[in-house]
Amino acid sequence: MTTDTRTDPAQPGLLPDGRTRTLLLAAAGFAVAVAAPHVLYPVFVMKVLCFALFACAFNLLLGFAGLLSFGHAAFFGGAAYVSAHAAKVWGFPPELAILAGTASAAMTGLLFGWLAIRRQGIYFAMITLALSQMVFFLALQLPFTGGEDGIQAVPRGVLFGLVDLNDPLAMYWTVLGVCLFGFAVIRRAVHSPFGQVLKAIRENEPRAISLGYRTERYKLLAFVLSAALAGMAGATKALVFQLASLTDVTWQMSGEAVLMTLLGGVGTLAGPVVGAALVVTLQNHLADSGVPVTVVTGFIFVVCVLLFRRGIVGEIEHRLRRRAP
């Protein structure tokens, strides 16, 4: 699907060849990563990164397996609670707290996915939404979650016993590392034979079954992977903001992952990152302006669905592909 490593033999020299271009992109990315926390407010950049990973994890399911989950907040917020509790009450170091959150999200994902993949399409969306609402009520009522207050003042701790994460830059590089790891996993999964089977299921599930694939297993694995990565994003977010709260498990949070992915481009690798950056920026600006955020969010939804279904990155890729011979 992506054409970024293919070179055009008809026009040698105009564009650098694949490897050089990848290196150039990597260098540019590295420069941006170094500059970002100095140019922008570090917590803002970390928030964007966490949401970008969250949206990418969601997009793995929607964009590559064609499954619309409306309950990803359960994994994102559930993992935030687990990692916050592990760091604060059990005294886990940050790396183990994030790991605990991720593992809990994977387990929840296994359970929810096992139930939800029994139905397709619209029903799948409704089932995941209902199951995540159950997690919301559990978070509201269970003793360890702190009810309406959530878990506050979560210690960031010392990474591997060496790096004190109370330093914003250290925290930033940790978040960047976690998120890059997540993106790498997603990229690897999408370009693997496993990812190809997922795309086959998305395009035509009966045909994939007739070719001998046990599509349920592929869908379940994709669901668990997506849930685990969404959980990793949520667990990291809990450490960044030192807070796990009910907001993280509401269905509106699931809606945000959908919005970021839709705006950036469903089924593109970079789309959710672009979408997350835009949506978080927008929310930050609107927060002080008095314009109701939900109305604007809803409006973007409507416009994207009606006029802009490829999303930003999807539209760019589409134009580039059409121009190329």
d(Cα 240, Cα 160) in Å, to the nearest integer?
17
**Size of residue set near another protein by CB under 8 A:** 38
CB 286, CB 293: distance < 8 Å: yes
Each residue 247-266 as x (binds another protein by CB under 8 A) or -, in order, gives ----x---x--x---x----
If the CB atoms of residues 159 and 227 are measured against another protein, the closer one turns out to be: 227
If the CB atoms of residues 125 and 280 are measured against another protein, the closer one turns out to be: 125
The two structure tokens encoding residue 277: 């950056």
If the CB atoms of residues 23 and 115 are measured against another protein, the closer one turns out to be: 115
177 binds another protein (CB under 8 A): no
Each residue 7-46 as x (binds another protein by CB under 8 A) or -, in order, gives ----------------------------------------
141 binds another protein (CB under 8 A): yes
d(Cα 192, Cα 16) in Å, to the nearest integer?
26
125 binds another protein (CB under 8 A): yes
302 binds another protein (CB under 8 A): yes
Terminal C-alpha separation, the chain = 15
DSSP string, 211-247: TT--HHHHHHHHHHHHHHHHHHHHHHHHHHHT-B-GG
Q: Which of 16, 29, 91, 121 binds another protein (CB under 8 A)?
A: 121
299 binds another protein (CB under 8 A): yes
Residues 6+ apart with CB under 8 A from 223: 61, 67, 69, 109, 110, 112, 113, 116, 117
If the CB atoms of residues 156 and 310 are measured against another protein, the closer one turns out to be: 310
200 binds another protein (CB under 8 A): no
- Pick the stretch among 96-104, 179-187, 269-277, 294-302 that binds another protein (CB under 8 A): 294-302
- Shortest spacing between CB 176 and another protein, in angstroms: 31
d(Cα 51, Cα 234) in Å, to the nearest integer?
8
The two structure tokens encoding residue 280: 């978080």
Return the residues of window 49-68 that contact another protein according to CB under 8 A.
68
Distances (CA, A) of 6 to 20, 21, 49, 317: 12, 10, 28, 13
Q: Which of 30, 41, 90, 137 binds another protein (CB under 8 A)?
A: 137
d(Cα 86, Cα 94) in Å, to the nearest integer?
9
- Shortest spacing between CB 271 and another protein, in angstroms: 15
Question: What are the phi and psi torsion angles at 245 (to 5°)?
Answer: -135, 175
d(Cα 234, Cα 152) in Å, to the nearest integer?
15
If the CB atoms of residues 193 and 290 are measured against another protein, the closer one turns out to be: 290
**Contact positions vs another protein (CB under 8 A):** 68, 115-116, 118-119, 121-123, 125-127, 129-131, 133-134, 137-138, 140-141, 251, 255, 258, 262, 292-295, 297-302, 304-306, 309
